[in-house]
Structure 1
């Protein structure tokens, strides 16, 4: 059935059943209406990535997004302070030059 999405736990369970010998790829394909090639692709991903298999790499970790936002705010604050200090320094130098 095209367009279905399966969660990570489901995929890991299917791969585990095949690898442990509990069920064959053909049995699982029939039971869950999955393509045998899909199960083989899941097995290859587990072999290649181990515990990181089936995690979405395109979606960043929410804690990283929060950290990035925090650092961007801090960078903005430093930029504002830098601008203020430059103006004060320019004012100071111009007042010294007029004396």
Structure 2
């Protein structure tokens, strides 16, 4: 059935049943009305991400926000340093021209 959303717990339960050899992909597919390719995708997700599987990137979003904030602070610091250097260069050129 297209468009259904399954909970993280349900997905992990299905994958755990396959990994522990309690049931086969075909059995779970028939029992829950899932296509086998979906179950295989869930298994790959668990293999790749482990405990972070099916978290919809919540932790990733938070770390991305922190990284963006860090880069924005750094960009501000560089802009300030650039302004100071430009003013210093202008002052140097003025003083050099008067001597």
TM-score by length of 2: 0.65
Aligned to 1:68: 68
Aligned to 1:42: 42
Change (3 A) 1:28 1:75: same
Change (3 A) 1:63 1:89: same
Aligned to 2:4: 4
- Count how many residue pairs are aligned between Structure 1 and Structure 2: 97
Shift of 1:3: 1.6
**Pairwise mapping of residues 1-99 of structure 1 onto structure 2 (< 5 A)?**
1-43=1-43, 45=44, 48-49=47-48, 51=50, 53-54=53-54, 60-99=60-99
TM-score by length of 1: 0.65
Comparing 25-34 with 74-83, which one deviates more in the overlay?
A: 25-34
Partners of 1:65 and 1:97 in 2: CA distance: 48
Gaps of at least 5 residues in structure 2 are none
Q: Secondary structure of the residue that 1:22 maps to in structure 2?
A: coil
RMSD over aligned Cα atoms: 3.0
Larger helix proportion of the pair = 2
